[in-house]
Amino acid sequence: MTLNLSFVRSHFPALQDDFIFMDNAGGSQVLESVIDRTGEFFRHHYVQLGASYEVSARAGVLLEETIAELATFIHARNPKEIVVGPSTSMLLRILSICISRQWRPGDEVIVTNSDHEANVSCWTDLEQKGIVIKTWKINPETLRFEMNDLRNLLTDRTRLVAMVHISNILGTINPIKEVAAMVHQAGALLCIDGVAAAPHRLIDVQESDVDFYVFSTYKVFGPHMALLYGKYDLLLEMDGINHYFFTKEDVPYKFQPGHINFELTYSLGAIPSYFTRLHDHHFPDDTSNDFRNKYRRSYDLIAGHEEQLANQLIRYLETKSAIRIIGERSGSREVRVPTISFVHDQLKSSEIVTRVDPYRIGIRYGDFYAKKIIRDLGLEEQDGVVRVSLVHYNTQEEVVKLIEVLEDIL
Amino acid sequence: MTISEIEAEIVSEFSLFEDWMDKYNYLIELGKSLPVIDPKYKTEQYIISGCQSQVWLHAEYREGKVVYTADSDAIITKGIVSLLIRVLANQSPKDIVEANLDFIDTIGLREHLSPTRSNGLNSMIKQMKLYAVVFQQKYGERS
């Protein structure tokens, strides 16, 4: 069974044009059904929530339903474990402010040098409060994390480890379940930035047993928003940052000052439904009622297709002696997603990308706010890496087009 | 069981829930027991118009009773369809047509009824009753 690309692409209005979108780790294209739901909310339910009149009560129910669907989508135990916010950076900042109120000077947080700053700065800023920050670095040879290095960093003062599920530069999948086990054994918590993972792998917060997991919905075919999952008991025991009259029991409202964006939150309901539709299109005879299984099978199809795309591009890049892939040199779905970065011996990354621009292919260069890894790998002077970030709606023909262009300009 | 007996059972189940979180978890669970529509009926013809999510409904007449099957691509919606089918399935067309479905108000599902596009519950009930009306006319003397 392979992914039906014309079925997939028919769900994305922007893909009806001939522009090739390969900066999807920056932001993916949006589903037509997301646009529809946003418009529907504006047209029919656009009132303040919490009032007793009919339209307000109904709008509240629609949002509750949506959050409940999203909870199932990531396998949260209950909808209250979902905090909605404007961005991953903002949600992690809120989390760091709230959770650190329980900490004392001398307590420790471990960050990595492979993360986007969203899951770094909010923790390193706590040094002002006397929190000790340690950095878990990837092995510069293998570009992988060593579990032993983490073991050596953990102490009885470690309160939290902040780590990226999949690097937005390397595309490598980190073993978060294994990390969670080690971190928990040390009595600490694990906070995962899943932004670069969510478009490619089905999130399962229970299976991985992470304590906090954050991702941005605008990279998962939705609007510019983000969701934070937190284990309920952990969210409950924290103070929030909302008005004084909100109590500890007001989970998740105490973490959502100014309330959430109603219309965009409502639009998010289209994302799980899209994965259901993908499943039902490809497996019409599977009439089970298990939505998680439907999502899983859809993501399996996606991973298979993305693996082909990644292998196609990596095989080409490997033939160019001047090019060095920054990350795994395999497209295998076991080790990576199709977020593929590379550098060139003679050309700056910026030069390559600006030469590609006229061909109407959207790729990108830079550090992608994962500044430490670019610094530690010595790639700052060449303007960071060239990043080609594919998702399941990209086609093999599009990758061929990119390869032809690279062949012309390099 | 009669329709009103099943309604009373559902009202009693929903009275156990303290907040919406429990209610939705219960609806999600209910969705898992939905009698799923044969894939050959998952076509435009069987989509209930007026639902924001896609909902397909099919009904058959068997030995004086109406047998419903359905599906939806949204989890909560599926739970709600499942709830309606639990109340109306295997009842006579006459009883289905005459059912008041007061339980909807009692358990707080009224908010799902709306004059707008997302009048999903309303449309579902209408479609389920429409099937019953058709069967009543067709097999009237036996119902």
Angle value at C-alpha A73, between B19 and B53, nearest 5 degrees: 80
A387 beta partners: A341, A364
Asked if B14 and B30 count as a contact pair (C-beta separation under 8 A), the reply is: no
Closest CA to B37 of A389, A280, A228: A280
DSSP output for B115-126: SSS--HHHHHHH
pLDDT tens per residue, range B102-129:
888 888 776 655 445 456 778 888 999 9
How many Å apart are CA B130 and CA A250, to the nearest integer? 44
Q: Which fold has domain A5-31+291-409?
A: Aspartate Aminotransferase, domain 1 (3.90.1150)
Q: Which of A7, A61, A287, A289 to mutate to test the interface with B (most CBs of B within 10 A)?
A: A289
CB-based contact, B71 to chain A, within 8 Å: yes
Q: Where are the domains of chain B?
A: 3-142
The helix (run of H) or strand (run of E) holding residue A375 is helix A371-376
Asked if B71 and B48 count as a contact pair (C-beta separation under 8 A), the reply is: no
Q: Where are the domains of chain A?
A: 5-31+291-409, 84-260
pLDDT tens per residue, range B7-26:
999 999 988 887 777 888 88
Residue B5, classed as helix, strand or coil, is helix
CATH number for A84-260 (one of 3.40.640.10, 3.30.1330.10, 3.40.50.300, 3.10.20.30): it is 3.40.640.10
User: Strand locations in A122-172, DSSP E?
Assistant: 132-136, 158-164
Instruction: With beta carbons under 8 A apart, name residues in chain A contacting B116.
Output: 43-45
pLDDT tens per residue, range B54-75:
899 999 999 999 999 999 988 8
Structure tokens belonging to residue A255: 């973490």
> A308 CA to chain B: closest CA distance, Å?
28
Residue A173: C-alpha distances to residues A114, A119, A334, A338 (Å): 12, 16, 8, 11
Closest CA to A164 of A139, A144, A183, A192: A192
ipTM field = 0.76
Note if the bond before A252 is cis, omega within 30 degrees: yes
How many Å apart are CA A292 and CA A269, to the nearest integer? 15
Instruction: With beta carbons under 8 A apart, name residues in chain B contacting A44.
Output: 114, 116-118
CB contact under 8 A, B73 and A69: no
Q: Which fold has domain B3-142?
A: Sufe protein. Chain: A (3.90.1010)
How many Å apart are CA B142 and CA A165, to the nearest integer? 62
Angle value at C-alpha B91, between B87 and B97, nearest 5 degrees: 85
pLDDT in tens, chain A (410 residues): 899 999 999 999 999 999 999 999 999 999 999 999 999 999 988 999 988 887 888 888 889 889 999 999 999 999 999 999 999 999 999 999 999 999 999 999 999 999 999 999 999 999 999 999 999 999 999 999 999 999 999 999 999 999 999 999 999 999 999 999 999 999 999 999 999 999 999 999 999 999 999 999 999 999 999 999 999 999 999 999 999 999 999 999 999 999 999 999 999 999 999 999 999 999 998 888 899 999 999 999 999 999 999 999 999 999 999 999 999 999 999 999 999 999 999 999 999 999 999 999 999 999 999 999 999 999 999 999 999 999 999 999 999 999 999 999 98
Residue A378: C-alpha distances to residues A329, A346, A371, A372 (Å): 19, 15, 11, 10
Query: What's chain A's Rg over C-alpha atoms?
Result: 21
How many Å apart are CA A92 and CA A99, to the nearest integer? 10
CB contact under 8 A, B117 and A40: yes
> A87 CA to chain B: closest CA distance, Å?
24
